[in-house]
Amino acid sequence: MSAATRTLVSPATLARPRGRAVYWTVFTVVVLLFALAFLFPVYWMVTGAAKSPDEVAQTPPTLVPQQWHLDGYTDAWDLMQLPTHLWNTVVQAAGAWAFQLVFCTAAAYALSKLKPAFGKLILGGILATLMVPTQALVVPKYLTVADLGLLNDPLAIWLPAVANAFNLYLLKRFFDQIPRDVLEAAEIDGAGKLRVLWSVVLPMSRPVLGVVSIFALVAVWQDFLWPLMVFSDTDKQPISVALVQLSQNIQLTVLIAAMVIASIPMVALFLVFQRHIIAGISAGSTKG
Amino acid sequence: MTKTAHRRPAEAIAVRPVKAPSPAGDRRRRRLADQLRAHAFLIGGLLCFALFSWYPAIRAIVIAFQKYTPGSDAEWVGTANFTRVWHDPEFTAAWRNTLTFTLLALLLGFVVPFVLALVLNELRHAKAFFRVVVYLPVMIPPVVSALLWKWFYDPGAGLANEALRFLHLPTSNWSNGADTALVSLVIVATWANLGGTVLIYLAALQSIPGELYEAAELDGASLLQRVRHVTIPQTRFVILMLMLLQIIATMQVFTEPFVITGGGPENATVTVLYLIYKYAFLYNDFGGACALSVMLLILLGAFSAVYLRLTRSGEEGA
């Protein structure tokens, strides 16, 4: 389909021998450039963790480990208590995801279909938070969480995650497109509002729920400043905070191995859902 | 935007359970019940917004004028927090660094992804490969990218200097030198984030009608002229939006300086958000932290307002 679309360079130019030569040269250069710029650093990290401490500090460096040491990885797992921190991250991300799905979906459904009093005002208030970048408010948010006694509690991640105007608006816009007749038909059959949401609206909203889920999980997994503030207790810290806290006094190979392990879940998620994620990002741009 | 068509069709009336003609009181009660139900759906989300978005915004402004220590009574101090913060030598450094960082990130973060997207859009092979590879760094946790580049910038066995030595170029201090540190951080941020930008530009490029290029070529426009007179005007809106988003995001930079340089050397990489963090958690000066937050809030709020204005007008235009 897209092969037929005309782009900057015309197909006629490309068909000529000279055009074809230039095309394949550019293609090769771009492949090499991408491999060097984006894959090589990752390769360097994965192999760096497999080198011995002496080899990793040696100049000039070795391209391939002379000997593959896996104890960097096992040491990281044990010494840095990675199981604890990974588990904390999973709990924080999963909870934030669940809270967002329940509360944002319910609120978006109410704003879209149930015509609550002051609905316009509430929606305006929610959209206004889009103008207030989250990071600029971390300190007063921290004080509020402290007043509620939620420091060192995963609720400190879960509850603020619900206040996500972007995801809520995404859901509301999607619900707006569901024709009222469909919902009314269900109501005639005697379904209550909750029932309609559960068995009619949500099954129709799978694509947007997928997008919101991925955004929610990635946001928590990647976050650093907020968990750094609210989890002073080392045993409660997610992997991102633990990595930085422990990076000062740990052997380099062990740290690198821990970095690799910390990246695996998100990279795996990306490789599994790459089509959806890339399509989602591309679609986001054209819709604005 | 809100396309909830306010139709009151016949079937809407049919929904009501068919009973004897209901008196007005009954209808009012039912409407109240509907409202209660609607707000029951809303309440959870609303509480979270109130507690963690609306209240903190107000509280930032209030505490900015107070001497505030958690646990003890707040004291009104007028604009003392603002003047104290203003006279902090780090304040000037933080703003200068943040603005320089934003400007450099904008330059690098616009030119590189745009050119990459332009080239990728011309390639007819391995499309999926390029998209996955360019987005890979975005999925690596920012803390890991920061630590990774900290290691690359290591003056001893760091990869960055090894690469320079390999090319027989003079080595650099990278993140450890006062005049190179900020640029080094911009490189990290660009590497870690450009994937998303490239994908969005690619999508925008694909929506340009091919006839425009065709016509331009017939008129004798060269490759560069086509870029200048067709591609850029056609994607102007997306470019502008992404630039604004990038300004908003990079003005809040924290992870890279915190992890890689710790704000050093000689305050060369202290950013505004870093300074806010320091005031709150190192100096225990929440009044000062909130005064700084309010300043950042006003500036970013202005950018956001422009952004929302543009998206809305773009949507109406489409």
Q: What is the pLDDT of residue B13?
A: 46
Same domain, A59 and A107: no
**Claim to verify: residue A116 and residue A226 sit in the same structural domain:** yes
Lowest mean pLDDT among A260-274, B29-43, B304-318: B304-318
**pLDDT of B83 higher than 60:** yes
The predicted-structure confidence for A24-40, as pLDDT tens digits, reads as follows: 999 999 999 999 999 99
Give the nearest chain A residue to B164 (CA atoms): A60
Does some domain include residue A277?
no
Inter-chain CB proximity A104 and B259 less than 8 Å:
no
Residue of B11, B37, B301 with shortest CB distance to A132: B301
pLDDT of residue A266: 92
Task: Specify the pLDDT at position B161.
Answer: 87
Closest CA to A105 of A12, A197, A43: A197
What pLDDT is recorded for position B1? 39
Which residues does chain B have within 8 Å of residue A45's beta carbon, measured at their own beta carbons? 148
Max Cα separation, chain B? 93
Is A96 in the same domain as A127?
A: yes
pLDDT at A15: 83
Kindly tell me if the per-residue pLDDT of B142 is higher than 70: yes
Q: pLDDT per residue over A184-211, tens digit each?
A: 888 888 888 888 888 888 998 888 898 8
- Give the pLDDT confidence score for residue B11 in this predicted structure: 44
Residue A113, both tokens: 């279909």
In a domain, A76, yes or no: no
Test A114 with B41 for CB contact under 8 angstroms.
Answer: yes
Q: Are A201 and A178 in contact (CB under 8 A)?
A: yes
| pTM of the predicted protein model | 0.88
pLDDT for the residue B278: 94
In tens, the pLDDT along A41-60 reads: 999 999 999 998 888 888 78
| Short-list A53, A57, A51, A55, CA closest to A69 | A51
Decide if B188 contacts B256 (C-beta within 8 A): yes
pLDDT at residue B3 in the model: 43
Q: Tell me the three-class secondary structure of A144-175, residue by residue.
A: HHHHCCCCCCCHHHHHHHHCCHHHHHHHHHHH
Chain B, 184-203: which have a CB under 8 Å from a chain A CB?
A: 191, 196, 199-200, 202-203
Q: Which two tokens stand for residue A97?
A: 């995801």
Same domain, A24 and A161: no
From B10-14, B20-24, B34-38, B133-137, the region with the lowest mean pLDDT: B10-14
Comparing CB atoms, the residue among A107, A143, A286 nearest residue B45 is: A107
CB contacts of B311 in chain A (<8 Å) are 288
Whether A281 is in a domain gets the answer no
CA angle A268–A273–A277, rounded 5-degree value: 115
From residue B114, give the alpha-carbon distance in Å to each of A18, A287, B106, B201, B244: 26, 19, 12, 7, 15
What percentage of residues in chain B have a pLDDT greater than 70? 91
Q: What whole-number distance in Å separates Cα of residue B292 and Cα of residue B281?
A: 14
Which residues from A are below 8 Å from B45, CB to CB?
103-104, 106-108, 162-163, 168
| pLDDT (tens digit per residue) in A81-109 | 899 999 999 999 999 999 999 999 999 99
Handedness of CA A274, A277, A278, A280 (dihedral sign): positive
Q: What is the pLDDT of residue B7?
A: 45
Name the domain boundary from A71, A89, A112. A71
Torsion of the alpha carbons at B274, B280, B282 and B283, rounded to the nearest 10: 120
d(CA B309, CA B316): 11
CA distance B54 to A126: 9
Q: Determine contact: A104 vs chain B, CB below 8 A.
A: yes
The answer on A127 and A202 residing in a single domain is yes
Q: Give the one of A139, A177, A197 whose C-beta lies nearest to B290's C-beta.
A: A139
- For residue B19, name the pLDDT band (cuts at 50, 70, 90): low
Shared-domain flag, residues A32 and A131: no
Of A102-106, A152-156, B307-311, give the lowest mean pLDDT range: B307-311
Average pLDDT, chain B: 86
Closest approach of chain A CAs to the CA of B256, in angstroms? 11
pLDDT(B183) > 90: yes
User: How far is the alpha carbon of B161 from chain A, nearest alpha carbon, in Å?
Assistant: 10
ipTM: 0.91
Residue A159 in any domain: the answer is yes
Q: Which of A29-41 are b and which e, b meaning 16 or more Cβ less than 10 Å from the residue's Cβ?
A: ebbeebeebbeeb
Beta carbons of B261 and B269 less than 8 angstroms apart: yes
Task: Band the pLDDT of A284: cuts 50, 70, 90.
Answer: low
pLDDT at A184: 84
pLDDT of residue A282: 76
- pLDDT computed for residue B17 by the predictor: 52
> Is there a single domain that holds both residue A115 and residue A64?
no
Pairing of strands B75-76, B66-67: antiparallel
How far from A113 is each of A172, A232, B1, CA to CA, in Å?
Answer: 9, 42, 15
Same domain, A58 and A87: no
pLDDT of A287 > 70? The answer is no
Residue B20: band (very low, low, confident or very high) from pLDDT cuts 50, 70, 90: low
Kindly determine whether residue B141 and residue A255, on different chains, have CB atoms separated by under 8 Å: no
**Domain contains A265:** no
Q: Cα–Cα distance between B150 and A23 in angstroms, integer?
A: 37
On whether residue A279 sits in a domain, the answer given is: no
Q: H helices within B123-180, ranges in order?
A: 127-139, 142-152, 159-166
B260 at the A interface (CB within 8 A)? no
**Omega before residue B155 within 30° of 0, cis:** no
Shared domain check, A100 and A41: no
Domain hosting A188: range is 81-249
Q: Is residue A287 part of a domain?
A: no
The residue of B54, B130, B136, B282 whose CB has the most chain A CBs within 10 angstroms, and thus the best one to mutate to test that interface, is: B136
When CB atoms are compared, the residue of A10, A30, A56 closest to B217 is A10
Distance from CA of A201 to the nearest CA of B (A): 14
CATH code of the domain in which A117 resides:
1.10.3720.10
Residue A165 lies in a domain: yes
In this structure, the answer to whether residues A142 and A241 fall within a common structural domain is yes
Q: Report the domain count for chain A.
A: 2
For residue A108, the chain B residue with the least C-alpha distance is B42
Residue A159 confidence (pLDDT) above 50:
yes
pLDDT for res A4: 54
- A160-176 pLDDT per residue, tens: 999 999 899 989 999 99
Task: Please give the average per-residue pLDDT across B216-235, as a whole number.
Answer: 89
Q: Are B56 and A141 inside 8 Å of each other by CB?
A: yes
When CB atoms are compared, the residue of A126, A163, A278 closest to B131 is: A278
**Residue B315's pLDDT band (cuts 50, 70, 90):** low
Higher pLDDT, B146 or B217: B146
The alpha-carbon gap from B294 to the nearest alpha carbon of chain A, in Å, equals: 8
Per-residue confidence (pLDDT) for residue B21, from 0 to 100:
55
Write out the two tokens for A108: 């978006």
| A99 and A63 part of one domain | no
Higher pLDDT, A57 or B277: B277
Which positions in chain A touch B152 (Cβ < 8 Å)?
A: 41
Same domain (yes/no): A44, A153: no
Q: Quick one: pLDDT band at residue B22, thresholds 50, 70, 90?
A: low
| CA angle, B193 then B198 then B199, to 5° | 105
